[in-house]
Amino acid sequence: MLIQEKKNSVTQYIDDTFDTIMARDPHQTEFHQAIKLFFRSITPILDQNPIYIEKNMLGQLTEADRIISFRVPWIDDNGSVQVNRGYRVQFNNALGPYKGGMRFHPSVTTSVVKFLGFNQIFKNALTKQPLGGAKGGADFDPKGKSDHEVMRFCQSFMNELHRHIGPDIDIPAGDIGVGAREIGYLFGQYKKLSGAFHAGVMTGKGQTYGGSLGRTEATGYGTIYFTEEMLRENGLSFAGSTVVISGSGNVSIHAMEKAVELGAKVVACSDSDGYIYDENGVDLQTIRELKDKGDERISDYVLFHPSAQYNDTCADIWSIPCDIALPCATENELDGQAASTLIGNGVKAIAEGANMPSTQEAIDLFLEQGILFAPAKAVNAGGVAVSALEMAQNSSRMTWTFDEVDDKLKEIMKDIYQSCTEAASAYAHPNNLVVGANIAGFKRVADAMIAQGIV
């Protein structure tokens, strides 16, 4: 009876907290989705540790420390003034300075940066690096813009952002739409405004001015290293497996590269227009060349490989039979229908290389059917892990070799997997990596917050 009452009180606490969030921010659907999944999966630790409820830990964690929204005016090549909206959400710094990427994409809203920033708290915690959680960006689309237009936008963006960041305050990095070019322009403007060369203020920098070898590859490689560990623990392997990877950007390309290196055959990848299927295995060099040109689309792949097929509906990529599926494009790209198709075609494992790419319905189906499922908070942590290594190199004025960085990344991803499996088992959900990842990350952050008091 007491156990049932305790469970009821936990459920009531979760429901009340969620209702408060819904009432406060009723239209932030992406944020609601992220916290709903999180709340469901940490119920076991709340059951056993009432102090987290006494301290209203969910209420504290779901309200960002601060949300910064600002105007970003810039002049296009025609001399016209354009205006975008910039964001930085500094969510939690219990473990260290705020850390998280910046996304430049038309879909960026307060809800999007809040869901990304909230998940970043626990992703960073899983790496065991001293990092808090943040995210930012703008509803600016660098696609189709000239270098001069991107530079002017980045400089205007940093004119405001520089007030809120610093090596011991908040360290931004890249994300969708923010690559080496954008980071360079942003860093250059920060340097001008601050009057000092603070290499540690941003990560993902060029190697000529404080960047780390291996940072470009980190998220894609980390995705594969985590998945490799999950497969190995379950008697499976990339060797001889058929793999489908959505997307064809930085994460996808490097995930493809490492999967092929480990003996897999990647047969499909995509962009926002559609996907290509090559039963002989996707030629990675062709994908790289198309992407390097900047204005080419994945559909052009068939011009070089006529035996391949192009489909102009990117969501249909999950209809391709495969052993391993790696959603590496964007949020909510893999829904319940796609999950059912993958399961029906015999998929053995799914690992999320993108942020929140699977809907709740899809995740539930994978877990119900006993399919190996690795959540983004754990799988996608390779990028921020190497960002922390970049920060360490900046602080020590040292440069590590690619192999040194890659070895450290591999060990971090293995450790994240072990932390997830141990937490899942400790709270009576063995093999459920969603529960394991969320509980392991939550416990580390919540315990630090309690130790520091209500501040």
Active site residues: 135
Cβ contact 360:373 at 8 Å: no
Element (H, E) at 100: strand 98-104
DSSP 3-state of 363: helix
3-state secondary structure 66-99: EEEEEEEEEECCCCCEEEEEEEEEEEECCCCCEE
Rg of the chain (C-alpha set)? 21
Q: Which two tokens stand for residue 405?
A: 């960085």
- Per the DSSP assignment, residues forming a β-bridge with 87 are 69, 137
Cα separation, 90 vs 161, in Å, equals 12
Rounded-to-integer distance, Cα 418 and Cα 411, Å: 11
The Cα–Cα gap between 339 and 318 comes to 8
Beta bridge partners of 92: 133
Structure tokens at 117: 């920033």
- Cα–Cα dist 101/410, whole Å: 21
Q: From edge to edge, which strands make up the β-sheet containing 242-245?
A: 309-311, 275-277, 265-270, 242-245, 324-326, 349-351, 372-374
Please spell the DSSP secondary structure of 296-365, one letter per residue: --GGGHHHH-TTSEEES-GGGGGGS--SEEE--S-TT-B-HHHHHHHHHTT--EEE--SSS-B-HHHHHH
* Cα–Cα separations (whole angstroms), residue 113 to 98, 108, 424, 438, 445: 14, 7, 28, 19, 20
User: How far is Cα 309 from Cα 420, in angstroms, rounded to an integer?
Assistant: 38
Give 302's Cβ-side CA count (13 Å radius): 14
